[in-house]
Amino acid sequence: MLDVQVRDPIESRSDSDMLILVDPADNEVGHLSKRSCHDGGGILHRAFSLLIFNGRGELLLQQRAASKRLWPRYWSNSCCSHPRRFESIAVATARRLREELGLSCRLQFLYKFQYQVAFQTAGSENELCSVFIGVTDQPPRIDHSEIAAWRWVSPERLSEELADQGTARFTPWFMLEWERVWRDHREAVLALRASGHPPAGNQVLK
Q: Report, as residue numbers or ranges, the catalytic residues.
A: 80, 127
Rounded to an integer, what distance in angstroms lies between the CA atom of residue 180 and that of residue 203?
A: 19
Backbone angles phi, psi at 54, to 5 degrees: -105, 180
- Residue 155: closest CA among 75, 34, 61, 30: 61
